[in-house]
């Protein structure tokens, strides 16, 4: 009888400089719908936009009533991550927010056997905060960071006001906080868009 496998997965927000990334351990049986929730939590997104997975020229997503592009997407309900990531080194893309176009490289780094004391999923490493939602994609994010470095910049006050009361720290990443969230229902992900 084959034992469960654990996938060590590296998630990289494409074009981020310096790199924004996470390393997680998940069961190979994890459904893509759950991997989406896990990515939302470990990266720090708020699940307020549409998403999809891509492998080659195939797109995987949940059906959505207003989606004009259903003809080229596969409903990922019931599809496990092991069906797309077969071997170490295999990659898929996770797209989040089709307006800002956040692309994430998802790479299977290692196939491991379960360590019974650990509860999966778990985040084992990561660097930097993900960008604030709706900041204009990677270009808008880089522009925002430049403005925040210069308190004399004409847009500085507007950006600070837009960010709200919280001081945005691009270097912030709290792995303990992330792992506590992963233990919650829906892996700590807020379900704004779907009833899954």
Cα gap 161→140, rounded to integer Å: 16
Please determine, for residue 195, whether its predicted confidence score (pLDDT) is greater than 50. no
Cα gap 105→12, rounded to integer Å: 5
pLDDT tens digits, residue range 174-193?
Answer: 999 999 999 999 999 987 65
Using the structure block, give the residue that is written with the tokens 């092991």: 82
Helix pair angle (156-163, 137-148), 10° resolution: 110
Using the structure block, give the residue that is written with the tokens 């403005």: 147
Q: Domain 6-130+172-188 carries which CATH code?
A: 3.10.290.30
pTM, 2 dp: 0.91
High-pLDDT (> 90) share of the chain, %: 80
pLDDT tens digits, residue range 71-98?
Answer: 568 899 899 999 999 999 999 999 999 9
Please determine, for residue 67, whether its predicted confidence score (pLDDT) is greater than 60. no
């Amino acid at each position: 009888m084959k034992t469960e496998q654990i996938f060590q997965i590296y998630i990289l927000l494409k074009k981020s400089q310096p790199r924004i990334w996470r390393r997680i351990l998940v069961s190979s049986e994890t459904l893509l719908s759950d991997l989406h929730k896990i990515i939302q939590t470990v990266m720090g997104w708020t699940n307020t936009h549409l998403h999809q997975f891509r492998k080659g020229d195939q797109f995987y997503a949940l059906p959505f009533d207003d989606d004009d592009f259903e003809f080229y997407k596969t409903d990922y309900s019931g599809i496990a991550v092991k069906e797309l990531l077969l071997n170490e080194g295999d990659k898929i893309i996770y797209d989040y927010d089709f307006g800002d176009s956040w692309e994430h490289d998802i790479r299977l780094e290692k196939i491991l056997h379960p360590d019974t004391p650990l509860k999966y999923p778990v985040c084992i490493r990561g660097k930097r905060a993900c960008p604030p939602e709706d900041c204009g994609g990677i270009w808008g994010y880089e522009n925002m960071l430049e403005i925040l470095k210069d308190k004399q910049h004409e847009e500085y006050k507007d950006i600070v006001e837009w960010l709200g009361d919280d001081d945005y720290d691009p270097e912030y990443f709290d792995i303990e906080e992330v792992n506590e969230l992963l233990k919650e229902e829906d892996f700590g992900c807020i379900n704004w868009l779907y009833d899954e």
